[in-house]
Amino acid sequence: MSRLIDSIKEYQIAFKKKAPKEIQDIMLKATKKLEDASISLNALKNGNKVNEFILPNAIGKEISLFDTLENNDFAVVNFYRGVWCAYCNFELKALQERNDELNELGAKLIAISPQSPDSSLSTKEKNDLNFEVLSDINNKIAKEYGLVFSLAEELRPIYKSFNIDIPANNDDDSYELPMPATYVINKNKEIIFSFINEDYTKRCEPQDIIDAIKKCK
């Protein structure tokens, strides 16, 4: 079974070879500034209780967190930035690889981004995902979880040069995005595992999610 970190490292090696150094430096500085702000300290973590959310999936059907927990032992909730983010796509594909294992453990996987349902459908089709991909318009739920930040001004023209149009994907010109985050929530609506990181290149290994669930079985 391939590891997510290996796919990310391979991508980073290729990116460093092709991207101008000045652009890489700007991106690294923006990430460091976000890390220094330590906004993850205020995010929901292990032991916190969660509230209900109801969000539309890729075809507009409303999905309830509490209904998911009523029908499963655990909900695995993954916040990602969007279909335009290579790291997010690596992560979603890695989760898809382990989705059957999660189901066998009584866990239902849900991915959430601020994208419109149309963009969520693109994410689902691009990565051939069998789990729900939900649209959190204006980051309403991500804000409740304490995950939201505004993309640095200096990064916006760089993203545009990469043909990344965040306002178009999100139907929102705020440039607000969620930090990468993954939660395992039990039937008592309690978080039993959490991963949050200001650095968008750092992602939760699916094996860590599976190990956390097994400890509670």
CA atoms within 13 A on the CB side of 99: 19
Q: What is the DSSP letter of 133?
A: E
Tell me how many degrees the CA angle 120-122-125 measures, rounded to the nearest 5.
110
Q: What is the DSSP letter of 180?
A: P
φ and ψ at residue 112, rounded to 5 degrees = -130, 135
State in Å, rounded, how far the first CA of the chain is from the last one: 23
Tell me how many degrees the CA angle 46-80-12 measures, rounded to the nearest 5.
110
pLDDT of residue 106: 97
pLDDT of residue 119: 80
CB 94 within 8 A of CB 128: no
Residue with tokens 């980073």: 12
pLDDT of residue 12: 96
Separation of alpha carbons 81 and 137, rounded Å: 12
Among 73, 91, 171, smallest CA distance to 133 is for 91
SS3 at position 201: coil
User: What letter represents residue 83's amino acid?
Assistant: V
Work out the number of other CB atoms within 10 angstroms of the CB of residue 3: 12
The two three-digit tokens of residue 30, written as one number: 């923006």
pLDDT of residue 2: 67
Q: List the chain pLDDT tens, one digit each, 217 residues.
A: 569 999 999 999 999 999 999 999 999 999 999 999 999 999 999 999 999 999 999 889 999 999 999 999 999 999 999 999 999 999 999 999 999 999 999 999 999 999 988 888 788 888 888 999 999 999 999 999 999 999 999 999 999 999 999 999 999 999 999 999 999 999 999 999 999 999 999 999 999 999 999 999 7
4-215 maps to which CATH number? 3.40.30.10
Report the DSSP beta bridge partners of residue 133.
111
Residue with tokens 């999100």: 170
Separation of alpha carbons 173 and 196, rounded Å: 24
Predicted TM-score of the model (pTM):
0.95
pLDDT of residue 125: 85
Alpha carbon 24 to its chain's center: 22
